[in-house]
Structure 1
Amino acid sequence: MKNPEVQPGSRTAAEGFRITVLRDGPYLVFGHPPLTQQFLMPDRNGEIWYYKEGLRYSTAAEPVALCRCGASANKPYCDGAHLSADWDPSLTALEEPLLNGADRFEGSEVALTDNPTYCAFARMCDAKGQVWNLVEQQGDRARDLTVREADRCPAGRLSAWKDGTPHEPEFEPSLGLIEDPQQACSGPLWVRGGIPVSREDGFTYEVRNRVTLCRCGRSSNKPFCDGAHASVHFDDGLPDVPDPAGKEW
């Protein structure tokens, strides 16, 4: 089988890191990447602006099975609930690279690519006038905000480009459980640092620096998140308060 495509600006994680999506079951995670809650936090104006860490969960098992049906009583881990849960496990996402379906917005200093099919509803892009407007404005402030907001799109739906090169944040291979107190829901599994995601049949999706995988079982773009968790008010039952000492980004 041919090597998977790698999105421009991304690199594949070191050998050993990988995720296998079982056809009718959970995500099997290999390589022991750290797994930490990542809370969407607002600024003083109530706009979602940064991430703050919460609790860390063990990935000592090899592999560790993480729930993707949304029904486990032991989230984030799988407890076999997918066998009786009312959910559709079908993997319906296209096999083509994300950028193939992306729109492009040209600015004077930076460009922006956007593939809304992969929206995880994190709303980092809405602050300060929305990134689609900011990219078309001139000046250092607009340029820097465009890059900042695109970088913080957890799904990689948005990317900022300069001189034909995509800007990507530096991530070590790691996983995040996105939590959204403002919307009173839990979000997707945030896969960072180029960890390959494969189907059980051996097909590997395009390797990307930022990927969000559905945890609620309701996405129409599985295994990827499409924001459905917000409409169904998915609740993973985990502590909903960030760690006061947790890292911010």
Structure 2
Amino acid sequence: MSELKIEPGSLPAEKRFSITVTEKGPFLVYGRPPFCEQFIMPDPDNESWYFQEGKHFSTESEPTALCRCGASKRKPYCDGAHVHADWDPQLTAPDRRLLDDAEQIEGGTLRMSDNPAYCVFARFCHPYGDAWTLTEESSDPEARRLAIREASMCPSGRLTAWDKKTGKPYEFRFEPSLGLIEDIAIGSSGGLWIRGGIPLRREDGTTYEIRNRVVVCRCGQSANKPYCDGTHAAIKWRDDLQGDPVGETLPEEVY
């Protein structure tokens, strides 16, 4: 068996947690992680700024089958619609580490890694000067603070800020949990947000790189399956779950 890939700065979840991506059907969730909507919330300038919880869903079934094709009438759960849905279930993402293909942006005190293949169009990288410019200007304390925040808010891990002095990445410390990304500003529902190092594996046992932040496709149309590639935003895909952002918000500090 090949050695597990673990992204620097990520901690694997307890062994009871895992998600299997079936070849032609749903995600199978094990370990009963907390599961709720995560709404992208704006700042006063209507830029993406924080996440707020919405409706909670049960994962008591072992496993819990979650829709991957986008056609279920019982979203977020699978109802077997994938058998007749117009979608391509093929898992096309390369078996590589995210950082293998990442660009490196150098700044005064920070470096930022950027793998555009994992962009999910959440837009946390834009407020108050984009994350790339802020990284380049990170000798300034305020630019450094904002660069770390914007990179760390990227739900898919496309962006990561690294301290140049220590070489260590900045990450929120998530508990193993799942989120359904909802994007009110563009009128679209996003991918399934997998947090806290929950292993994602194929039916043959092959485990994808374990990461603190992962977003996988649930509209069925990504070209980088199982990962989300932002296609939901282009097609304005909706899950019609009709929840409201009334719960807790993502913490402000990065560790």
With the shorter chain as reference, the TM-score category is over 0.9
1:113-166 CA-partner distances (Å, limit 9, x unpaired): 000000111100011111001101131110000110111100000000012111
What corresponds to 2:205 in structure 1?
202
CA distance in 1, matches of 2:8, 2:244: 36
Distance in 1, matches of 2:9 and 2:43, equals 29
1:42-96: CA deviations, max 9, x gaps?
A: 1111111111110100000100000010000000000000000000000000101
CA contact (8 A) 1:179 1:240 kept: no
Given candidates 223, 231, 234, the residue that maps to 2:234 is 231
| In structure 2, distance between residues paired with 1:128 and 1:73 | 40
In 2, Cα distance between equivalents of 1:169 and 1:130: 20
Which residue pairs with 2:253 in the alignment?
none
| Contact 2:37–2:243, Cα closer than 8 Å, also in 1 | no
**How far apart are the structure 2 equivalents of 1:53 and 1:126?**
22
Measured against aligned partners, the alpha-carbon deviations of 1:161-214 in whole angstroms (never above 9, x if no partner) come to: 012111111000000000001010100000000000001111100000000000
Does the 8 Å contact 2:151/2:159 carry over to 1? yes
CA RMSD of aligned residues (A): 0.7
Matched, 1:177 2:180: yes
Task: Normalising by structure 1, report the TM-score.
Answer: 0.98
Structure 1 equivalent of residue 224 of structure 2? 221
Question: For the residues of structure 2 that align with 1:248 and 1:140, how far apart are their CA atoms?
Answer: 25
1:187 equivalent among 187, 190, 202: 190
**Alignment of 1:158 onto 2:159:** yes
Q: CA deviation at 1:3?
A: 3.2
The letter for the 1-side match of 2:5 is E
- Kept after mapping to 1: 8 A contact 2:35/2:59: yes
Give the aligned partner of residue 11 of structure 2.
Answer: 11
Unaligned segments of structure 2, at least 5 residues: 251-255
- Could you tell me which amino acid in structure 2 is paired with residue 232 of structure 1? I
Shift of 1:240: 4.3
- The one-letter amino acid of 2:112's match is L
What SS does structure 1 have at the residue aligned with 2:234? helix
Aligned residues: 247
Q: CA deviation at 1:31?
A: 0.3
Where do 1:1-249 residues align within 5 Å?
1-137=1-137, 138-162=139-163, 163-243=166-246, 246-249=247-250
Q: Alignment identity in percent? A: 55
Q: 4+ runs of 1 displaced by more than 3 Å?
A: none
TM-score by length of 2: 0.96
**Distance in 1 of aligned mates of 2:135 and 2:161:** 9
